[in-house]
Amino acid sequence: MDTRNNVWIAVCKSGKVLLSLWNNEIGERSVGKVISIKPGYPIEECVQIFTDKNLPLLVCPTYIAKNRNGDICVSDVGAVVVTDAGGILRFRYQGTSRNSNFEPYGLCCDSNCNIIITDMKNDRIHVIDKDGGFLHFVRYEGIKMPRALSIDENDHVYVGEWNTTSIKVISR
């Protein structure tokens, strides 16, 4: 799989590294996967997820996070895909309505296993529970095109916006 510049990384507390990658193809030939490695060891597992119609579920995976419950959360085209640790699909979150043009990028997980997701196209940050249920939008005045997210041990969320040099900190 030729991945060139399409690799996203998450480092887990266990020391494992999760990589999400895709094959640089657009459209029907685009295929993504998640690889789990422990530095200094061979690749442990390659999780390539397929739909019930044997089509790849991950098309163009970007940001990736591992939740405290072991789930792997990946932002993809129009959806956040959540699997268990073995790559079995748990759910796909596609925004709050089918007409929202949901465009997820950065994501992270809080101490309650909630998943926090940037929605760049709609200037929003979604919070969903560990089972994919929508909880609320994060309210923060002036967020424009949120793209990157990180969270600290106190559940403060750090938001990076597309095309700016500022980082906004949201206390929850």
Q: How many domains does the chain have?
A: 1
Range of the domain at 94: 7-140
Q: Tell me whether residue 91 is in a domain.
A: yes
The Cα 43–Cα 127 span in angstroms is 32
Q: Tell me whether residue 117 is in a domain.
A: yes
**What CATH number should be reported for the domain holding residue 114?**
2.120.10.30
For residue 44, how many other CB atoms are within 10 A of its CB?
11
Q: Tell me whether residue 39 is in a domain.
A: yes
Q: Tell me whether residue 145 is in a domain.
A: no
Q: Tell me whether residue 111 is in a domain.
A: yes
Give 14-61 pLDDT, tens digit per residue.
777 777 776 766 666 666 777 777 777 666 555 555 555 566 677 778
Q: Tell me whether residue 129 is in a domain.
A: yes
For 118, the 3-state DSSP assignment is: strand
Question: Residue 41: CB partners within 8 Å, gap ≥ 6?
Answer: none
Q: Tell me whether residue 171 is in a domain.
A: no
CA angle 133-137-139, nearest 5°? Answer: 160
Q: Tell me whether residue 158 is in a domain.
A: no
Give 94-119 pLDDT, tens digit per residue.
998 866 789 999 999 999 999 999 99
**pTM here?**
0.81
